[in-house]
Structure 1
Amino acid sequence: MVMVCRLLLSGRIIARHSRAFSSSSRSMWNTEIRPAPVEAQDFLDFVNQAQSPFHATEQAIIRLRKAGFQEIKEKDNWNGILKRNGKYFFTRNRSAVIAFAVGGKYKPGNGFSAVGAHTDSPCLKVKPVSKKEKLGYLQVGVQLYGGGLWHTWFDRDLSVAGRVVVRTEDGKLENRLARIDRPILRIPTLAIHLDRSTSADGFKFNNETHLTPMISTVTKSLTGEPAKPLKPDTEINGDIPLAEKHQPILMSLLAAELNVKVDQILDFELCLYDTQPSAIGGAYNEFIFSGRLDNLMMSYCSIEALIRSLKNADSLANDPNIRLVSLFDNEEVGSNTAHGADSNLLPSTFERLSLATYDGEAQASNTPTAYLEALPKSYLISADMAHAVHPNYAEKHDDGHRPHMHKGVVVKINANQRYATTAPTTVVLREVAKKYNVPLQEFVVRNDSPCGSTIGPMLSAKLGLRTVDVGNPQLSMHSCREVCGTEDVPLAIQLFEGFFEEFPSVDARLTVD
C-alpha cells in the first residue's frame, strides 16, 4: 500500500513537471506557423513562369501592362508620345526591359531615380548543333552559360525554355516563346559502385563529356532506329538544315508546343531548367526553394516596387524625377552585349528622356546639356542577390559581416570597387530605409576570398552615376536550386518603393556631391 501511494505521488510529480516543461517549451519556441507573406507567394507565380530571360521579361511586361504602362519602341521618335505622369516601357532583344514613370513636376535636366537588376541566371544552353548519340542513348549537347554550380544539375528533372524563330504561313518571321512543361532531359550521375573514388575524392566530372543530358533512347525514338550521324565538321560548312542539327524528338516537341510544323522552325535559343516548381519551405514557411533567385528575385522586387510607388497618384504628380527600372540580360557573362548593362541601353535611355519633349510641347524645354545635368542629380540602386552566412561554412564570412535571412536588405561594399557603394550613397539609402522601417545589413568579403561583382560598378563608371549595391541574402547562389527568406521579399519591395518616393527629398538635403 505504501509502495502504491509512493507510485501515485511520483506519477503526480512527474505529470506536474511534464506540464511545466511543456508550458516552458511552448514559451521558448514559437509554434505558430503562419503563411508566407503574400509577396513571397506572388514571387512564386513570377519565377515559375520565368525559366529564361525571355520569359522573365515577358512576365515583367505582363505586370507592367496590367498596371497601365504603355509600350513604346526604341526605333520610334518619342517626342509627342511622352507625357508627365505617364508610364512607359520598352524592350531590347526581348530579354531586357526598361520601365519608367515621368514625374508630374519633371523638367528635362532633372534626375532619374533608378533601380537596375538582371534577367539572366547561370544555366545550360542547347548548342547550335546539339544532336548526339552514344550507346543507344539520344543526347542533347549543351554549353555552359555563366558560372554555375554544375554538379547541382545532375539527377534533376530538366526541360527547355526560350525563344524560337518561326516562319509563319504568310512568310513572316516571328519570335515566339516556347517552354516544354514536363521533364524531357536528365543528366545521370555514375553509380558509386562503378567509381569508389567519389567517396574519397568527391564528385568530379568533365564539363564537356559528362554534362550531356539524355533525351531518349534509340529503342523508343520516333523511328526506332539510330539517328543518322552528322557529316564531319569539314563537310558541314555551317549551312545544313536545322532539323539535322538537333534530335528529331526535340524538334517535334518544340513544333507541337508552338503549333507549327518542324520545317517552320528556323532557329532558337533554349535554356535548360529544372521542372520542379519553386516552393515555400521550412518548418515555419520561412524559405523559398527555387532556381534563378539570382537574380529574378531582385528583378521581381524592383518591378513590383515601381508599380506600387505609383498607386498614390499624388506621389508621382509631385515627383520632379523620372522613376525607372532597368532589367538587363547577360550579367552572368560580363554584361558586354547589346542588351547587357555594359551596352548603351541605359545611357541612351537617359539621354533620350533628357532631351525629349513632353505633353505635346512644340519645342523641348531643355538645354543641349540637359542630359549631362541630369546625371549628377540621379541615383542608381544596383540590385543583385547577396550571400547569406552559411551555417556549415561560417568561416567563409568576415566576423563582422555575416548577413542573415529575415534581417534586412544587404548593402554590399568592397574597397577594390567590385561594388559601387560609397558612404554618401549608403547614407541616402539609410535615410529611406529608416522612414520605411526596413532594416539594412552590410556585407564585405573576407580579405582572403575573391569578390564577385555586379552591374553597379560598370554603370557607375559609364555614367558617372551615384550608385549603391544591394541585394537580399541567399544560400546556394548559382546552384540549380537556391534558397532565400520569405520575409525578405516584402522588405526589398518596401525599400525600393520608398526610394522611388523619397529620393528627391532626401537628395535635396544631401550637401555632399
Structure 2
Amino acid sequence: MNFPRYSFFIRRQVQYQKNVEGFLNFINKSPTAFHCVDNVKKTLTSAGFKELRENEQWNVEPLGKYFVIKNGSCLAAFAVGGKYQHGNGFALTATHTDSPHLRVKPVSKRDSCGYLQVNVECYGGGIWHTWFDRDLTLAGRVFFRKENGKIRDHLVHINRPIIRVPTIAIHLKRDTNEKLEINKQDNLQAVLALKTEEELNKSTKKDETCSTEKKSGSEAKKHHSQLLELLASECNCQVDDIINFDLMLADTQPSCVGGLNNEFIYSGRLDNQMSAYCAIEGLVKSLDTLPDETFIRGALLYDNEEIGSESAQGAQSEFTQHILRRITRDEHERSIANSFLVSADMAHAIHPNYSSLHDRDHQPSLSDGGVVLKTNCNNRYATTAFTSTVIKEIARLSNVPIQEFCMRNDMPCGTTVGPILSSRLGMYTVDVGAPQLSMHSIREMTSTQALEHYLVFFQGFYKNFKQVHNSIEH
C-alpha cells in the first residue's frame, strides 16, 4: 500500500536531521573565525569552487565558481551565472565569522599565588560572567618558521579542557548574588596550571628551556614554556620556531540539540556562524540553476563585526570593492594585495610614578626595550598576528629589538591612523612606535636609545620587507 504523504514526511524528517547534524558538525569544528573560514573553504572546494589569490591575475568566466580569503578569517565566495554579462549585477548575502571571546595577550605569562595564569584580553561586547567556571581550551592559529626558512601558519584547537576562569566563593564575597561586579583586568585572568607542575618540569627541561630562550629570543619569556610546548606539538614544529600566534579561549562543551522534544540547539557562536553556515549552504545548493542565472551570486563572510568592522578583513574595508571591481579591472588591487603599511605613532613608555596605568606585562621601556609593537584585539590598532609576524621577522633581520604594548582591559585604548588606512585600503597594516613620556605636553621626552632603534628599524623595513614577503607561503 502506498502512503505518499507519509513517505514525504519521513524524507523531510531525515533531511531535517541531516541539516541539524551538518550545522552542529560545522560549528563544533569552528571555535574561531579562522576555523570557520577553513571549514567553509572545505565546503566550497568540495563543491567545485576555485580559490583566487588577491595578488594574482584573475580570469572570471560565466559558470565559474570562486572564493577569496582575507587574513584567514574573511571569505568572499562567488558563482558566476551562465548567462551573466558585464553590468548585470550581483546577488549577495553578507554575514560575519567572529563572536565575542577572551583572547591571549601578546605577553601572556603570569604566575600568582602558586598558579600559572594566562593574561587575556576582551574581544567585543561579551557577557563576561558567563565565561566563569567553564571548562575552556585554546584555539586559533600559530605562525612558525619551517626548516627551509619559510613561514607558515597552522590552525590549532586543543581537544581537551586546559584553562579556566574560576569565580570567587560566596564565603569570601557575600554580596555576589546582589551585586555582580567584574574587573575585566583583574578578575578574568585564566588559570592554566599549578606552579608546582612548572617547577617539576623545569628540573627535567632546564637545558631545553635555556636553549629555547637563546634561540627564540624573548618569545619564550612572554609565554609559559608548557604552553609553547603544547603549541609546538600541535604544529609539529620546535618551540624556538614559533614566531607568533592568535589564540582564543573556547568552550569545550560541544553544541548540541536539547529541549524536551529536541526542539532547541544549544551552542556558542550562533551569532553569527549560523548565518555564515546557512549563506554558504544556500549558495552551494543553488548551483543546479546557475546555467540560467544572469547575475553573479555571492556570499561575504566578514571578520571583526563585533568590534566595529574597521579592519582589512572587516565590512568597512575596501576588500569588497576590490573584489567586485576586479571583474573588469585588476592591476590596482593586485598592488594593494602585495602591499604592507607600517603605521608609526609614538608609544606610551612606562611611567615610574604611574606604573599601575599599564598592564603589568606590557610596559614599554625607554632604555633598551626597542621599537614598540602595538596590539589591541578591538582594532584600536591595526596590528594582527600576521602583520606582527611580518614585522617581527623584519626586526629580527634588522637586529632591532621589539617590545609589546597592549592596554589594560579596564581602560580605553587610544588609536592611530592604522585602523583607518587598513580598513579603507584593505591593506595589511601594523602599528608600531617609539616609547616616550609626557605625550602631548609642550615639552615631551624620549631617549637616545629609542631614537637609534627607530632609525635602524625603518631602514631595515625598506631593505628587508621583500625577503620576508617572499618567505611567506600561501
TM superposition score normalised by structure 2: 0.63
The structural deviation recorded for 1:205 is 1.8
Is 1:70–2:45 an aligned residue pair?
A: no
Q: Work out which of the residue numbers 46, 55, 72 in structure 2 matches 1:94.
A: 72
1:300 matched to which residue of 2? 277
Structure showing greater radius of gyration is 1
Q: Residue 286 of structure 1: which of 233, 252, 263 is its match? A: 263
Superposition deviation, residue 290 in structure 1: 0.7
State the alpha-carbon separation in 2 of the partners of residues 304 and 354 from structure 1. Answer: 28
Residue 42 (structure 1) aligns with: 22
Aligned equivalent of 1:277? 254
Deviation at 1:195, TM superposition (A): 1.1
Where does residue 83 of structure 2 map in the other structure? 105
Give the aligned partner of residue 339 of structure 1: 313
CA-to-aligned-CA distance 1:385-424 (integer Å, 9 cap, x gap): xxxxxxxxxxxxxxxxxxxxxxxxxxxxxxxxxxxxxxxx
Structure-1 residue corresponding to 2:296:
322
Q: Which consecutive aligned stretches of 4+ in structure 1 deviate over 6 angstroms post-superposition?
A: 225-228
Q: Taking structure 1 as the reference length, what is the TM-score of the superposition?
A: 0.58
Give aligned-pair identity as a percent.
46
Is structure 2 residue 34 aligned with structure 1 residue 54?
Answer: yes
Compute the displacement of 1:160 (Å): 0.9
Residue of 209, 217, 221 corresponding to 1:244: 221
CA displacement at 1:112 relative to structure 2? 0.3
RMSD of aligned alpha carbons: 2.0
1:38 to partner: Cα distance: 2.1
CA distance in 2, matches of 1:261, 1:222: 21
For 1:38 and 1:224, how far apart are their aligned partners in 2?
47
Q: What residue ranges of structure 2 are gaps of 5+ in the alignment?
A: 1-12, 207-215, 331-423, 425-474
Q: How far did 1:220 drift?
A: 1.6
* Correspondence for 2:230: 253
Please give the alpha-carbon distance, in whole angstroms, between the structure 1 residues aligned to 2:33 and 2:217.
28
Taking the aligned partners of 2:218 and 2:236, their CA distance within structure 1 comes to 20
Matched, 1:216 2:193: yes
- SS of the equivalent of 1:283 reads coil
Worse-superposed segment, 332-341 or 240-249: 240-249
Q: How does 1:121-132 map to 2 (within 5 A)?
A: 121-132=99-110
Structure 2 SS opposite 1:114: strand
Q: Partners of 2:262 and 2:228 in 1: how far apart?
A: 40
Matches within 5 A, 1:147-186: 147-186=125-164
- DSSP-derived class of the 1:305 partner: helix
SS of equivalent to 1:350: helix
Indicate the residue corresponding to 2:428 in structure 1: none
Instruction: Report the alpha carbon displacement of residue 224 of structure 1 after superposing the two structures with TM.
Output: 5.3
Alpha-carbon distance in 1 for matches of 2:26, 2:145: 29
* In 2, Cα distance between equivalents of 1:200 and 1:92: 45
- 2:25 is paired with a residue whose SS is helix
Counterparts of 2:293 and 2:178 in 1: how far apart (Å)?
Answer: 62
Secondary structure, counterpart of 1:107 in structure 2: coil
Tell me which amino acid in the other structure corresponds to 2:238.
K
> 1:355: Cα distance to partner?
4.6
Unaligned residue ranges in structure 1 (runs of 5+):
1-33, 229-238, 357-461, 463-513
Q: How many Å separate the matches in 2 of 1:302 and 1:64?
A: 12
Q: Offset at 1:225?
A: 6.3
Shift of 1:221: 2.0
CA distance, structure 2, for counterparts of residue 225 and residue 175 of structure 1 = 28
Is 1:118–1:331's contact at 8 Å kept on the other side of the alignment?
Answer: yes
